[in-house]
Chains A and B, each alone.
With several copies, the nearest count.
Chain A
Amino acid sequence: MDSKVVSMKEAIAAHVRDGDTVVIEGFTHLICFAAGHEIIRQRRRDLTLARLTPDLVFDQMIGAGCARKLVFSWAGNPGAGSLHAFRRAVESGALEIEEYSHFGMVARLAAGAARLPFGVLRNYMGSDLPAANPRIRTVACPYTGETLATVPALEPDVTIVHAQRADRQGNTQVWGLMGVQKEAAFASKRVVVVVEELVDEAVIRADPNRTLIPGLVVDAVVVEPWGCHPSYAQGHYDRDNDFYVDWEAISKDPGKLQGYLDEFVYGCADRAAYLARMPGLQDRLRARERTCAGVNYGF
């Protein structure tokens, strides 16, 4: 079969369109900043951005003017402060929001992945969230009659997933925190997988239980080592917690935020140029070795 490997520039040009609902998932782990930056560089507009935790990547995209709407469940900079571009946009009314809890977002993506129109969860009794978001509804159990909460399926136009490795067809393996990556990929109309390492199909086939996303739902594979920084990739590099702390001051000041984008996003043609601006980064964050044993697949 033809390889699906393309450059980040090509992947974003082909699969992310103005007005799309875009998911870049990964819970703290494997957040693809490289894709977010390329979307900013290609000046996509009117995007609906969806993620459980918008994190810095969506704060940057909101600050750069890519977003019309944010769908989320927790918008902060854990341990470090706020997402100020997001807060300014919401407090000024410039950004539309649609808000759930984590469980609600998980159930939305799980429903989308299974092509069901809604997800069911026991939740939201005694909370003002359903009053704030009329898309949180209820259903009666056909067996017990009890009332349960529902959320509508989320089926993004495009989902971008970062992973440790994939083959040319997009058969993708992940370890460490998996977040909602599988559900988001299956829920999405188009899927871009970005990897630290492109491997031979034989590497995937040697340990098939490790595969999280099958190539048959993947449209493009991008090879972008260190593509998560300042997020992290287990077994490759640590989270750049210092940068998360620094973001508090950068995002608080629109001028500084613009300066950051000018230098590290618009001023970099690609990820390699971004990394070249931070000498010493890779030595500081490179993961130590902690390799597990394999298991026997013989019969």
Chain B
Amino acid sequence: MMAAVAARELRDGEVTFVGIGLPNLACNLARALHAPNLVLIYESGAVGAVPERLPVSIGDPSLVTGSLMVCSMADVFQLFLQGGRIGVGFLGGAQIDRWGNINTTVVGPYAHPKVRLPGSGGAAEIAVHARRVLIISRLNPRAFPAEVDFVTSPGHRFHGRPRRELSMPGAGPVKVVTDKAVLETDPESGELVLAGLCPGVTVAEVQAGVGWPLRVRPALDAPAAPSAEELRLLREVLDPRGLYL
């Protein structure tokens, strides 16, 4: 469901900074359906990748073979990302808060973490520079607190200061695709609000999954369940071994 909904967000020809797992599935699903000219860029340096198998990591050799370009990571970050060439970046995280801030660093205090998470990787700079950011995450109250323990990747409000004061080139997170609902950023406040409900899910169930009083759009979208074709591609072609689904 999440991969299918995220895939529909991608526009043909768009330059997409791809992470591993669901974002990779979503991008390759979009490429197989409505966006054959999507340009996939991985932070490892593969540009225009056409992986013959489901890549297990962003450095998988299948991303290199047959790609349009392989460049250094200095080029990826300086020329492609900071250079403003990336249309969409995908992010996920252990915690996502009301303002779209993402934490992939620590649960608990930084100096004495309860759980040490992997850290930023390229996420901090993707959140700053990609023209827009899509977040994919399962909905539950641990993952969606009112405030993250640590802001790894900036959303729309940082310790009270709005994004527009912080001179970030990209628009930041515009949409959060979850297994139950779609949240979107309110253009005024920068707050994540409920914008769409998956089939069979209630507003109360979504509210129970987030740690702040969730504002609800007056007219809610109803993202369609994955079509037979989407399911077939995901299950039989893109992830036949069920690594991510």
A-to-B contact residues, CB < 8 Å:
1, 27-29, 52-53, 72-76, 78-79, 82, 86-87, 90-91, 93, 99-103, 106-107, 110, 113-116, 121-129, 132, 146-147, 171, 175-180, 182-183, 186, 201, 204-206, 208-209, 211, 214-217, 232, 234, 238-239, 241, 244, 287, 290, 297-299
Q: Determine whether the beta carbon of B128 is less than 8 Å from that of A123.
A: yes
Q: Does B46 contact A (CB under 8 A)?
A: yes
CA distance A136 to B129 in the complex (A): 18
CA distance A86 to B57 in the complex (A): 20
CA distance A103 to B66 in the complex (A): 26
Of the candidate stretches B70-78, B194-202, B203-211, the one touching chain A is B70-78
Instruction: Determine the chain B residues whose CB is within 8 A of the CB of A214 once the complex forms.
Output: 47-48, 68-69
Given contacts A186-B79, A211-B69, 4 further A-B contacts (CB under 8 A): A82-B118, A177-B44, A177-B64, A208-B70
Q: Determine whether the beta carbon of B154 is less than 8 Å from that of A27.
A: no
CB distance from B189 to the nearest CB of A (A): 16
Q: Determine whether the beta carbon of A101 is less than 8 Å from that of B122.
A: yes
Instruction: Determine the chain B residues whose CB is within 8 A of the CB of A209 once the complex forms.
Output: 70
Given the interface pairs A79-B56, A216-B85, A232-B61, the reply to whether A180 lies near B74 with Cβ below 8 Å is yes
Of the candidate stretches B25-33, B162-170, B212-220, the one touching chain A is B162-170
Instruction: Determine the chain A residues whose CB is within 8 A of the CB of B46 once the complex forms.
Output: 177, 208
CB distance from B61 to the nearest CB of A (A): 3
Could you mark each residue 122-159 of chain B with 1 if its beta carbon is under 8 Å from any beta carbon of chain A, else 0? 11110111000000000000000000001111110010
Q: 20 pairs across A/B with beta carbons < 8 Å? A: A27-B45, A29-B64, A53-B121, A73-B121, A99-B119, A101-B121, A102-B73, A121-B125, A123-B128, A125-B168, A126-B155, A146-B167, A171-B48, A175-B70, A178-B70, A178-B72, A208-B48, A211-B70, A214-B68, A216-B85
Q: Does B88 contact A (CB under 8 A)?
A: no
Q: Determine whether the beta carbon of B74 is less than 8 Å from that of A106.
A: yes
Q: Determine whether the beta carbon of B73 is less than 8 Å from that of A27.
A: yes
Given the interface pairs A102-B120, A129-B120, the reply to whether A208 lies near B67 with Cβ below 8 Å is yes
Pick from B77, B79, B85, B154: contact of A102, CB under 8 Å = B77
Q: Determine whether the beta carbon of B45 is less than 8 Å from that of A90.
A: no
- Interface of A: prevailing SS: loop
CB distance from A10 to the nearest CB of B (A): 22
Instruction: Determine the chain A residues whose CB is within 8 A of the CB of B228 once the complex forms.
Output: none
Pick from A72, A90, A129, A205: contact of B124, CB under 8 Å = A129
CA distance A232 to B169 in the complex (A): 36
Q: Determine whether the beta carbon of A91 is less than 8 Å from that of B116.
A: yes
Given the interface pairs A186-B79, A205-B68, the reply to whether A179 lies near B60 with Cβ below 8 Å is no
Q: Determine whether the beta carbon of B113 is less than 8 Å from that of A103.
A: no
Instruction: Determine the chain B residues whose CB is within 8 A of the CB of A53 once the complex forms.
Output: 121
CA distance A297 to B75 in the complex (A): 21
CA distance A148 to B158 in the complex (A): 17
CA distance A255 to B60 in the complex (A): 30
Instruction: Determine the chain B residues whose CB is within 8 A of the CB of A205 once the complex forms.
Output: 48, 50, 66-68
Q: Does B231 contact A (CB under 8 A)?
A: no
Pick from A1, A126, A290: contact of B154, CB under 8 Å = A126
Q: Determine whether the beta carbon of A127 is less than 8 Å from that of B151.
A: yes
CA distance A128 to B159 in the complex (A): 10
Most buried by A among B37, B64, B110: B64
Most buried by A among B77, B83, B85: B77
Given the interface pairs A29-B44, A106-B74, A180-B73, the reply to whether A127 lies near B154 with Cβ below 8 Å is yes
Q: Determine whether the beta carbon of A122 is less than 8 Å from that of B82.
A: yes
Closest to B167 in A: A125
Pick from A72, A100, A113, A125: contact of B83, CB under 8 Å = A113
Q: Determine whether the beta carbon of A128 is less than 8 Å from that of B13.
A: no
CA distance A44 to B221 in the complex (A): 53
Instruction: Determine the chain A residues whose CB is within 8 A of the CB of B151 once the complex forms.
Output: 126-128
CB distance from B100 to the nearest CB of A (A): 10
Given the interface pairs A178-B45, A183-B74, A216-B39, the reply to whether A102 lies near B122 with Cβ below 8 Å is yes
Which residues of B16-39 are within 8 A (CB) of A?
Answer: 20-21, 37, 39
Instruction: Determine the chain B residues whose CB is within 8 A of the CB of A290 once the complex forms.
Output: 65
CA distance A214 to B67 in the complex (A): 11
Instruction: Determine the chain B residues whose CB is within 8 A of the CB of A113 once the complex forms.
Output: 78-79, 83
CA distance A100 to B43 in the complex (A): 15
Instruction: Determine the chain B residues whose CB is within 8 A of the CB of A183 once the complex forms.
Output: 72, 74
Pick from A99, A114, A238: contact of B82, CB under 8 Å = A114
Q: Determine whether the beta carbon of A75 is less than 8 Å from that of B59.
A: no
CA distance A82 to B94 in the complex (A): 13
Pick from A93, A103, A186, A239: contact of B77, CB under 8 Å = A103
Q: Determine whether the beta carbon of B61 is less than 8 Å from that of A299.
A: yes
